[in-house]
Amino acid sequence: MNAPVHPEAGAAPFSDSEFERLAAFANRSFGLKLSPAKKPLVYSRISKRLTALKIGSLNNYIDLVEKTNDLGERLELISALTTNVTAFFRENHHFETVRKDIVPSLASKPGNPKRVRFWSAGCSTGEEPYSIAMTLLEGLQNTGAFDLRILATDIDPKVVQRAKQGRYGKDNVGQLPAGYLGKYFEKPDAGESYTISPDIRKLITFGELNLIEPLPVKGPFDAIFCRNVAIYFDMETQQKVWTNFANLLLPGGYLFIGHSERLTGPASETLKITGVTTYRKNGQPSSGWSTK
């Protein structure tokens, strides 16, 4: 069947074959999985791009992103096909694991200072890496003893820019644990925006990075957060991403994934489930990691 989807006044509907062409392109280029069930959602998002660019059909739009190799428009397309929804301390049980299991182990790591590396892969507008940083600073007694760094990356340059700024509205800071707003944010400005404090900001390195391309990241990491990102990828791409993470984690290191994601494939040989959407890499930590 080649029926148009949700035709709306003023916007060109697109056919099944156009949708399939877009899905094939998104899969080839970004590892994204666009099932037919997503068609209405994709339609409503892409039609805004077509209107903005004054392009009359989805086929012409795909020609643009395919043939001109237009990086800017490819990024617009990724933004349209994925969501940047995030929140401070989202899926809080992962931060509880950091607080209860990881932080106490860090004190007995070797080295002076002790090297600690976390990665928020698919960090969106920054709430996730800032939540990691606040949890670590809150828990560590003597931060001077640690060489503490958090890498925060996303494919979408717009969200990376916002994450770097670290400015959040009243609605965004509502879920912070009691006392954190006063402790880890500067006083609100006239527009009632709260900016993350320099002490937290300086722990984080932000960058643009596509997780389905060869990774320019060495690690090794004590923990990787990659939550609500792989959900957009097809199974093969997901499994490659999990394998990359397994290779980048220290023995005993943690991988946290999103609530509707599941780790499968070769990486499950080395990453064992230890809690809700929480995995740990096999092997003996060099020192100081509890092995429970």
For residues 166 and 185, what is the distance between their CA atoms, to the nearest angstrom?
Answer: 9
Exposed / middle / buried, residue 123 (Cβ in 10 Å: 0-12, 13-18, 19+): buried
Give the phi and the psi of residue 72 in degrees, each rounded to 5. Answer: -55, -45
Using the minimum distance from each CB to ligand SAM, give the nearer residue, 125 or 270: 125
- In the range 81-120, which residues lie near ligand SAM by CB under 6 A? 82-86, 90
**Residue 264 CA: distances (Å) to CA of 28, 124, 246, 267:** 21, 24, 12, 7
Using the minimum distance from each CB to ligand SAM, give the nearer residue, 12 or 155: 155
- In the range 152-211, which residues lie near ligand SAM by CB under 6 A? 154-156, 159, 210-211
Using the minimum distance from each CB to ligand SAM, give the nearer residue, 15 or 161: 161
Residue found under tokens 């509502």: 174
Q: Does 30 bind ligand SAM (CB under 6 A)?
A: yes
- Report, in Å, the least distance between residue 86 CB and ligand SAM: 3
For residues 213 and 104, what is the distance between their CA atoms, to the nearest angstrom?
Answer: 35
Q: Does 243 bind ligand SAM (CB under 6 A)?
A: no
DSSP-derived letter for residue 233 is B
Residue 45 known to be catalytic: yes
Binds ligand SAM (CB under 6 A): choice among 12, 103, 229, 250: 229
Through-space distance between the first and last CA atoms of the chain, rounded to whole angstroms: 54
Q: Does 33 bind ligand SAM (CB under 6 A)?
A: no
Using the minimum distance from each CB to ligand SAM, give the nearer residue, 29 or 193: 29
Q: Does 261 bind ligand SAM (CB under 6 A)?
A: no
Catalytic residue (choose from 74, 117, 154, 222): 154
Q: Does 122 bind ligand SAM (CB under 6 A)?
A: yes
**Per-residue x/- marks for ligand SAM, 203-222, CB under 6 A?**
-------xxx----------
Residue 154 known to be catalytic: yes
For residues 103 and 140, what is the distance between their CA atoms, to the nearest angstrom?
Answer: 7
For residues 173 and 167, what is the distance between their CA atoms, to the nearest angstrom?
Answer: 10
- Give the bridge partners for 119, in sequence order: 151, 224
Tell me, by CB under 6 A, how many residues bind ligand SAM: 22
For residues 222 and 235, what is the distance between their CA atoms, to the nearest angstrom?
Answer: 25
For residues 226 and 222, what is the distance between their CA atoms, to the nearest angstrom?
Answer: 13
Q: Does 227 bind ligand SAM (CB under 6 A)?
A: yes
Q: Which residues are catalytic?
A: 45, 154
The binding site for ligand SAM (CB under 6 A) comprises 30, 82-86, 90, 122, 124, 128, 154-156, 159, 210-212, 227-229, 232, 258
